Amino acid sequence: MIAQSTEISFLNPRGYPVQQGLLQEFECELDPLNPQASRIPCRVLGYGEISTVFEIQAQGLENLAFKRMCCFETLAELKPYVDTYLIYNRALEEQVGLRLPPYGYALFVCESGRPVLYLIQERLPPASIGNNALQRLSPEQIIRLFRLVLLELHKVWAFNHSHPNCQVGIDGQISNWAIQGFDPGRPELSPEAALLYLDTSTPLIRLDGVEQLNAELFLRSAPPYLAWILRLLFLQEVVTRYYDPRKVIIDLLANLYKEQRPELVPELVLTANAYIQGEGADLGLAEISEKEVRDYYREDELIWRLYLGMRRFDRFVRRKILHLNYPYILPGKIQR
């Protein structure tokens, strides 16, 4: 339940209207086990480790994507995250030079005292999202899209090189980009096509060498008995990989396996190495091999399969045995 006396906080940098009470009502009635069964119709657009992205099909919430984050325990803990989120978005737009969809946020507190945050973006046409565009574009056009992503990522790395006191991390996976003005009826890209970056909910930014994001949030959705080993073995590596240009490129390439397009890997490895030798030469990166990409994907796939399996087991224990609330929404079977 939502605390009736709690004021909703809302920031809307671009000025589009949102029915805040309706969003509050949606959260109050949401069943994390079956979100589509909500009285207010919704559609899940995507799943993250600590968040779920919805389209809420109600008047006043049209054409928006809502990323629900319920990993915070107090408002005092949530505020630094929101501050970092806004700093990160402004840095990407105003200093790095990336294009972002219009964005905002809303938050409110449940009766338990636990805050829930909704990050809001303009909802883009599904066909324009990079992983969907992969299924429509010709191989030549896919190479062009991949090169455009590399050039956008280069803006981040060039910024980091010239600003040692402010370092920005980025997850460059193809599903985190959208093609502005993409026409699925004529799936073509010009060399100057504009891309929008979507995934700003993991605001990785270091100021004077200090990570501003509380990385412990990544562990909130993990079963308690697994959190310690994830913290020990994976947390630092997962956070730091997004500051490493070479690892970001390998992750981008490996994502092609998840998107069921492994046949693209050889040609796009060549494209990545051409970038490394060309525009990215000042980064001093070693070339990437197909084996490296394949091995990276296999390891990553194993980790996340085990992680999701343990989360499902944890949900079962909490709901069916301990009769406790489980606030996270887990995906069904994921094709990898």
Model pLDDT, residue 334:
57
297-332, pLDDT tens digit by residue?
A: 988 777 777 777 777 887 888 888 878 777 777 776
Q: What value does the mean pLDDT of the chain take?
A: 85
Q: For residue 307, what pLDDT is reported?
A: 74
Residues 98 and 156 sit within 8 Å (Cβ to Cβ): yes
Q: Which domains does the chain have, with CATH numbers?
A: 9-122 (3.30.200), 126-321 (no CATH)
Q: What is the pLDDT of residues 152-187, one digit of tens each?
A: 999 999 999 999 999 999 999 999 999 999 988 888
Q: Answer whether 0.75 is exceeded by the pTM.
A: yes
Dihedral sign computed on CA atoms, order 186, 187, 189, 195 = positive
Residues 286-312 as b/e (b if ≥16 CB within 10 A, e otherwise) read eebeeebbeebbeebeeeeeebbeebe
Q: Which residues of the chain have pLDDT under 50?
A: 1-10, 13, 15
Residue 232: the pLDDT is: 64
Nearest to 152, CA basis, from 206, 196, 182: 196
